[in-house]
Amino acid sequence: MLKRIVQLFIVMTGGTIGYLYMPELFSMMGVSWQSWIQSGAGAIVGALILFLLTFWVVDYIVDFLRWVEDALVRAPVADLLFGSLGLIVGLIIAYLVNNLLQDIDIKVVSQILPIFITFLLGYFGFQVGFKRKDEFLNLFARKDKKGLEDDASAQAVDEALIPKEKILDTSVIIDGRIADICETHFLEGTIVIPQFVLEELQHIADSSDGLKRNRGRRGLDILNRLQKDLPVKVEIYDGDFEEVQEVDSKLVKLAKVMDGIVVTNDFNLNKVCEFQNVQVLNINDLANAVKPVVLPGEEMTIQVIKDGKEQKQGIGYLDDGTMIVVEEGKDYIGKTIEVVVTSVLQTSAGRMIFARPKSLEKAL
């Protein structure tokens, strides 16, 4: 159907061109037909010439139109809206500028230059509206908040109590503990899943590596659980930041635009967010915070299962996975012994306990 429409348009265009310009060509060739015969013949010749050309170009035109159609269908509504608004503004500015150029008695300036100005300003207007839509949306949101603050009836509302959007990164989705945290109502507000995070998760799930594939599928299962089984509001953010390549950088920029909070268990992303003054919730920090507190001097019983990196060190683990480094513990590998805690190292990457065998402490 689309191919027929394109062919009909080309034929009508050829007929129109032939009707307008063929009579002059006939006159130059010395043909002395009546004007209406020349116009009719010109329309037929022009339509026929362009109709023959359609056999070579119509397929390319149809493919291009279908590509444009698919791109417009896949594009988010916000992209289309702000891109169209930017295009309209650019065309209005071009119209005003071209009106000024019409007073200049130079054909190049008054006839040809307006075409380029219209195209360029329309293009720039569309690009500005399309690529800066997130900033415009955030600007409108800030104005709405400011209006509420200025309203006397809204002065009693404490904005600090309004939960911000929580933006999940890929690692925290694959980790899976986010679902249990939401189920216990410790995480408030809307859960935001960016489209570029979904794409990365799907890419991991389609990996040829078995371990990566299983991790990706686990992440998709967690998302389905969040959306269907848990009492939290989940939204998909369809926008993207094409000028930014790394997913972590996109998350930081999205958090700035939405004034949201990044939820992760990635130590490096945690540091980047802190450096750029973006609020971040680290699942590992939460897990470490709820672990039992261990103080230097306390005694505990552990099994030394392997040797450590340093000489004569032994390694053991608590039930919650906390690693215990036992000084002078290499000789106790495979044995269950009592140890005395000497120090505790706490970081966002986890907690590490240093201890010595109790028998050695007594000897000292």
CATH number for the domain harbouring residue 175: 3.40.50.1010
**Domain stop point among 74, 91, 125:** 74
* pLDDT tens column, 266-290: 888 888 888 888 888 888 888 777 7
- Number of domains present in the structure of the chain: 3
CA distance 61 to 67: 10
pTM score above 0.85: no
End residue of a domain, out of 239, 260, 288? 288
User: Residue 22: its pLDDT value, please?
Assistant: 63
pLDDT tens-digit readout, 100-145: 777 776 655 666 677 778 878 777 877 777 777 667 667 666 555 5
CA-wise closest residue to 299 among 273, 248, 338, 334: 338
Instruction: Using pLDDT thresholds of 50, 70 and 90, give the confidence band for residue 155.
Output: very low
What CATH number does the domain containing 333 carry? 2.40.50.140
For 39-49, letters b (16+ CB in 10 Å) and e give: bbbbbebbbee
> Could you tell me what percent of the chain has a pLDDT over 70?
70
Closest CA to 254 of 338, 289, 263: 263
**Of 241, 264, 288, the domain-final residue:** 288
Looking at the structure, tell me whether residues 257 and 346 fall in a common domain: no
Alpha-carbon gap, residue 318 to 324, rounded angstroms: 7
- What pLDDT, in 10s, does the model give residues 297-307? 888 888 999 88
The Cα 187–Cα 176 span in angstroms is 14
Same domain, 269 and 184: yes
Report which DSSP code applies to 330.
Answer: G
Tell me: do 205 and 228 sit in the same domain: yes
Same-domain status, 338 and 271: no
Helix, strand or coil, per DSSP, at residue 156:
coil
7 alpha-carbon distance from chain centroid: 40
**Residues spanned by the domain of 305:** 292-363
6 with 70, same domain: the answer is yes
Question: φ, ψ for residue 347 (rounded to 5)?
Answer: -140, 175
Is the pLDDT at 156 greater than 50, yes or no? no
Asked if residue 65 is part of any domain, the answer here is yes
pLDDT of amino acid 152: 44
